[in-house]
Amino acid sequence: MTALSNKRVDVVIPVYNEQRDLGPSVAKLREFLIANCPYRWRIMVADNASKDRTLEIARELSTSHPGEVTYIHLEAKGRGRALKAAWQASDADVVSYMDVDLSTNLRHFMPMIEPLARGEYHVATGSRLMRGARVTRQLKREIISRCYNLIVKIMFPSRRFSDAQCGFKALSRKAVQALIPSIVDNNWFFDSELLLRAEQCGYRVWEVPVEWVEDLDTRVKIVSTAMEDLKGLWRVRTTKLQ
């Protein structure tokens, strides 16, 4: 076994009331990893206080695929909260996450994590705005996303990543230990704060153009989320990582 193949990768799927999609998505992801991932891998479902059968399904998947699928349960909602808990509980060399709807095409997963496994980068993310990306979504959300990323560029002119919000990311163990304990946001701004703080700490962000298809059943409340994002940007701009 080579040093690289001995690396371990954890793939976290944060979920809240996803009883419909969780089983099929984990099955699809598992098949992909078996066929394409040369590293030791594990799928971790991070349940955010779901009120439907999501937690029960996560338990069933863990029982059906021991060693390949596991889960954690949190009593409070928040994607950022779930990722913090899952990544800090992991001892994998590389941790990652993707949305349960698998909006990002899985073929981009290996190109995202390989530079981290080789030790060339410590933070990686998918981008829907780089040249080569292919995006299918409603015009309204496309405009909102581009406006938000323009605001990020204006407020943080030295930032090098193009897409602050793509739900497709990976970190090395070193980056988890250095960054995650100090990330404040527990919700949707978590992604932006993570990338901005990473660059503030001197980490280069590896960015991969992705094919991304919007989930029309998204739970994101656009207006309230946008307001929280703007508050978060101001907080990150005016404070330093503790």
Quick check: 93 and 115 in contact, CB under 8 A? no
Closest C-alpha to 167, from 128, 132, 196, 130: 128
191, 215, 217, 229: the catalytic one is 191
Quick check: 113 and 9 in contact, CB under 8 A? yes
How many angstroms separate the CA atoms of 164 and 195, rounded? Answer: 7
How many angstroms separate the CA atoms of 131 and 129, rounded? Answer: 7
How many angstroms separate the CA atoms of 137 and 99, rounded? Answer: 16
Does the active-site annotation cover 10? no
* Angle subtended at Cα 19 by Cα 18 and Cα 20, rounded to the nearest 5 degrees: 90
**Residues designated catalytic:** 191
